Amino acid sequence: MEEPRQSKKELILRNLQECLGEDRLDAILKEKNLKLYWGTATTGKPHIAYFVPISKIADFLKAECEVTILLADLHAYLDNMKAPWDLLRLRTDYYEECIKAMLTSIGVSLEKLKFVRGTDYQLSKEYTLDVYRMASLITEHDAKKAGAEVVKQVENPLLSGLIYPGLQALDEEHLKVDAQFGGVDQRKIFTLAEKYLPQLGYAKRVHLMNPMVPGLAGGKMSSSIEDSKIDLLDSEAVVKKKLKKAFCEPGNVEDNGVLSFVKHVIFSLLNKDEVFLIKRNEENGGDLKFKQYDELENCFAQKLLHPADLKSSTEFYINRLLQPIRQTFESPKLKKLVADAYPAPKKQNADDEVLPHRLDIRIGKIIEVSKHPEADSLYVEKIDLGEENPRTIVSGLVQYVPQNEMENRLVVVLCNLKPAKMRGIESAGMVLCASTETDGVKLVEPLLPAAGSKAGDRVLVEGYEKGDPDPVLNPKKKIWEKLQVGLKTSSSLIAEWQGCPLFTNTGSITTKSLKNAPIR
């Protein structure tokens, strides 16, 4: 009897990045089949990275697991209202149809799957009571830390985003499962569940984590960044266009969204006797065939395989996966569902468009810096921004940058925020920094102007060079808050907005060491 159990465990753990509670998994498999759930918040349109968890669900079913798919509609609303309440049911319907079409596309039977909507049980008396019990235990720090890589991050987080991780922990108990499956970006939510569920008298669950597939432009594949992902309903022409633009540097296998998708989806779905085929002209070396992913990766790492040939073959396999889904959504009923769930945005006046040209970002030179007389964590800086007189700007950088390193340095400054008093001193701008938190330790680095920059140089976003910045950003319209969500550093340390680099006439804006970090 031992061999079948071992075989099930191998299928369950195959291609995962991490498993928390492997000892618990072993104990469960000695007694019964594993019951697990995978949840997805019904926000933006699903994209091809969803094939990563979908292909793992195929593994779980082969291992005779009882699998529940949670369509987390309430979570979608709580995450900074990414799914408006009036569209919630429609988007949940769309997700269910997409997931069923994806599973059918890879030959998975739907008979053994259970679909559940969050609002089917999360509004019950029992669940609501547990939410209050959980809220009495979790600190604001732990809640914010747990959701850091999952919930939309803003300067002043909504309470809804803080309760999101606790609700996800409670789902494990109320769905009566042994394990939760998700991406490694949810690890902090999983550790929160392991910490707090026992305090409510509930058991710890096993946590199974997929690696995150990089987006086509590098960094996490995201529904909100158009060029980072391929939608399930994208046409063959759009797939070709997006893959052509995808980051796929010769020899680079570390942050390569094309290779990663091939590894975690295409190879895991190949039939037993099927190979991954690279078609090439004879003058370019002829066709290549790979039975194992490692062989393909080594070939690419040694620059024996050109990125264009890899992209061309990947395009073929992606279209093979997507074609049945496109055909399913040709039905008039589903076409209407897509249009209703994701209505075209209403045309805006130019003054209402929330685009990065509205930000007045400039290079500044700090000509004087001192500690704030009323706050130990704040600097008061005089910054030359190419204007007649330097501006006074207050920055919370005392814990992160020594005072002697602040003097005479060039920084990147957001200049058109409405001036605000900070402990009695009016601040007329913000020094932009990359900021992240790891294991409770916050790291902050001021952005770095390109060599040759000078005070007053305008910082632009590639593709959004046209248009004038607002004289002052209207705080009621939250222009900065909406745009700030798209600002982050890339895996190559370049400051970007939704994957588009920030630059001056002398080069790109960068950061010293913080990769894939929000810019605030």
- What lies within 8 Å, CB to CB, of 22 at 6+ separation is 206
Average confidence (pLDDT) over 321-326: 94
pLDDT at residue 273 is higher than 80 = yes
Q: What is the pLDDT of residues 65-80, one digit of tens each?
A: 999 999 999 988 887 6
Average confidence (pLDDT) over 502-517: 91
Which of the residue ranges 293-297, 372-376, 463-467 would you say has the lowest mean pLDDT?
A: 463-467
pLDDT at residue 135 is higher than 90 = yes
Average confidence (pLDDT) over 196-206: 97
pLDDT at residue 255 is higher than 90 = no
pLDDT above 70 as % of the chain: 93
For the chain, the average pLDDT equals 89
Q: What is the pLDDT of residues 477-488, one digit of tens each?
A: 899 999 999 999
The predicted pLDDT at position 63 comes to 93
The predicted pLDDT at position 353 comes to 77
pLDDT at residue 5 is higher than 50 = no
pLDDT at residue 214 is higher than 90 = no
The predicted pLDDT at position 224 comes to 46
Nearest-angstrom CA–CA distance, 520 and 518: 6
Query: Within 13 Å of residue 262, how many CA atoms lie on the same side as its CB?
Result: 28
The predicted pLDDT at position 191 comes to 95
The predicted pLDDT at position 352 comes to 64
Q: What is the pLDDT of residues 352-370, one digit of tens each?
A: 678 999 999 999 999 999 9
The predicted pLDDT at position 350 comes to 52
Average confidence (pLDDT) over 97-101: 95
Nearest-angstrom CA–CA distance, 307 and 320: 20
Q: How confident is the model at residue 6 (pLDDT cuts 50, 70, 90)?
A: very low
**Residue keyed to tokens 């209505």:** 343
Q: What is the pLDDT of residues 327-338, one digit of tens each?
A: 999 999 999 999
Q: Phi-psi region for residue 314, left (φ > 0), alpha (ψ -120 to 50) or beta? A: alpha
Nearest-angstrom CA–CA distance, 17 and 210: 5
Q: What is the pLDDT of residues 13-40, one digit of tens each?
A: 988 999 999 999 999 999 999 999 999 9
pLDDT at residue 179 is higher than 90 = yes
The predicted pLDDT at position 427 comes to 95
**Residue keyed to tokens 């969050």:** 118
Average confidence (pLDDT) over 385-410: 94
Which of the residue ranges 46-50, 283-287, 346-350 would you say has the lowest mean pLDDT?
A: 346-350
The predicted pLDDT at position 244 comes to 86
- Which residues are registered as beta bridge partners of 458? 362
CB neighbourhood size of 109 (10 A): 10
Q: What is the pLDDT of residues 411-462, one digit of tens each?
A: 999 999 999 999 999 999 999 999 998 777 899 999 999 888 999 999 999 8
Which of the residue ranges 19-23, 106-110, 221-225, 452-456 would you say has the lowest mean pLDDT?
A: 221-225
Residue 7 host element (H or E): helix 2-13
- Which residues are registered as beta bridge partners of 2? none
Please name which of 303, 233, 313 lies closest in space to residue 270, comparing C-alpha atoms. Answer: 313
